Structure 1
């Protein structure tokens, strides 16, 4: 994928006008804190109901799967489970797999636009600079039909850091 298709966005991932939003979920996929909680709250009970139906055993770290987006502006939520750096899960390949698997799911759905949070960079404690590099490098290296990728951040400093990595790519 061309780096120019990646756009840093300051905002709320639940309000992105894209085909699919990516949820940085936990293994159980039953809602939680951070991005996961925000997506479940904004999407409403349909998201949780679909998670329970489609993924009764949850998802493994590094994997991804889709559900309805419920009340979100997107058509789908692509849930992915990032490694919990704070708990000792520090294999960067698991983090990279989250982005690659989410793009594979997007392609299967026919999604042409997707919004990612910085997976594992919140409560899971992955160092932010490396999380940004992992996101950009993996998205660029992954073959995909997705035409527009938003990397959504909640603060301007993170958006600026994403821009800096994109310029260096």
Structure 2
């Protein structure tokens, strides 16, 4: 079960709705991956924005890849949506996510940010082994391009030593 959340920046609060139209009904997680050209549930990879049945743990779907400092949730969310039996999105925006914290990995501009390329390499591997790979590859490509583009913009504020590496990986 997944839910929306409230982004908190200073004293400002804003509801962030999970990108899936249908609420309070059970669906196949695969149906929440597409369309490729729009934000979908694989673009909402927040493990903390949900409650999961113990079968997710028992089937190894709760495991995050080791060795990644950032984007470790991307392989996880793809594996979850490709292999879980069902999911539901419920209206329960009681989760608060604090934004704008200077020490957060989303704010720092160091080598850890470059792990997104390795994370998406794992996503590609996961999707390519799926029986419906051809159906989902366009979504992976669109997501990699969008995230890579965002990292190219962020590279402008990285150190002179790191910025070229960020551009090369994006």
> In which range does the TM-score fall when normalised by the shorter chain?
0.3 to 0.5
Q: Looking at both structures, which has the greater relative contact order when contacts are Cα pairs under 8 Å and sequence separation is at least 6?
A: 1
Structure showing the higher strand proportion among its residues: 1
Determine which structure has more spread, i.e. the larger CA radius of gyration: 2
